[in-house]
Amino acid sequence: MSNGRLRVECEGAIGYIVLENLERRNAINAAMWRDMPAAIQQLVDDTGVRCIVLRGAGNMAFAAGADISEFEQQRASADSVKAYEHSIDAAHHAVETAAKPVIALIHGFCVGGGVALALSCDLRYCADNSQFAVPAARLGLGYGVRGHNRLVATVGHAAAREIMYSARRYSAQEAASIGLVNRVLPAAELDEYVRKLAADLAANAPLTMTTSKTIINTLIDPQGDFSEGNKLIARCMASEDYIEGRRAFMEKRKPQFRGK
């Protein structure tokens, strides 16, 4: 068993969830998967936090996938496999449905389950020395439906097929060219760029961003139901923030959104 853990930190309106397992390049162990929903909920419930950043500890890796050293124990029986996969699905679901924008800040290696976790985030920014791969085809394991769905929705089916079939590594520049990441930054500039971006998002109307997130998630869900998105649109239009946004625009000032 590895000693990996999640670390939750706050910096003003930005909440950070740090994957901390340095001895294994931040590979995600079973405890980290299980703890992800609670970590996300902690930051969602914190009214002072407006944006969440998910990153790996240090600059060596975002996450070198699921912690394979645990597979013999965590996948030793049908029941243990089911429980393990359930915890992974719950972690992805928590990130995908968080009522606040989630940014993946990616240094170094982003592999396998790390790619799936990054794809569950709303936005992805990486260092110019980052490397990406989904080596499932070289491990003989089945990559999850949720991971496949997010990958196809993000890069398209042709690029997704190449990523999954080849299991090869992609450079940061290649990842950007197929839309796997939003932008590539020099490694020394990445943290500050993401911090400023997160601060900008934190200043935007939270109800509007939550509504957009819900609708976009529905659009990429093959069995999506738009009813929730329509309810959230109505909530935005009846909100104090919508009034404040209109007034600030007319008065040529920066709006002060309150999420109400």
Q: pLDDT, tens digit, for every residue of 109-123? A: 999 999 999 999 999
Angle at CA of residue 151, ends 127 and 121, nearest 5°: 55
Closest CA to 104 of 59, 174, 36, 52: 52
CB-based contacts of 257, cutoff 8 Å, min separation 6: 203, 204, 205, 206, 241, 244, 245
Q: Is the pLDDT of residue 178 over 90?
A: yes
- How far is residue 64's CA from residue 236's CA, in Å, rounded to a whole number? 39
* Nearest by Cα to 190 from 108, 101, 102, 134: 108
* Residue 74 pLDDT exceeds 90: no
Phi, psi of 17 (to 5 degrees): -115, 120
Helix axes 227-237, 206-219, angle to 10 degrees: 160
Mean per-residue pLDDT, 62-83: 73
pLDDT given for residue 140 in this prediction: 77
Lowest-confidence region among 35-39, 74-78, 132-136, 206-210: 74-78
DSSP 258: -
Model pLDDT, residue 232:
83
pLDDT 10s digits, 125-162: 999 999 999 998 887 777 878 888 899 999 999 999 99
d(C-alpha 255, C-alpha 241), whole Å: 9
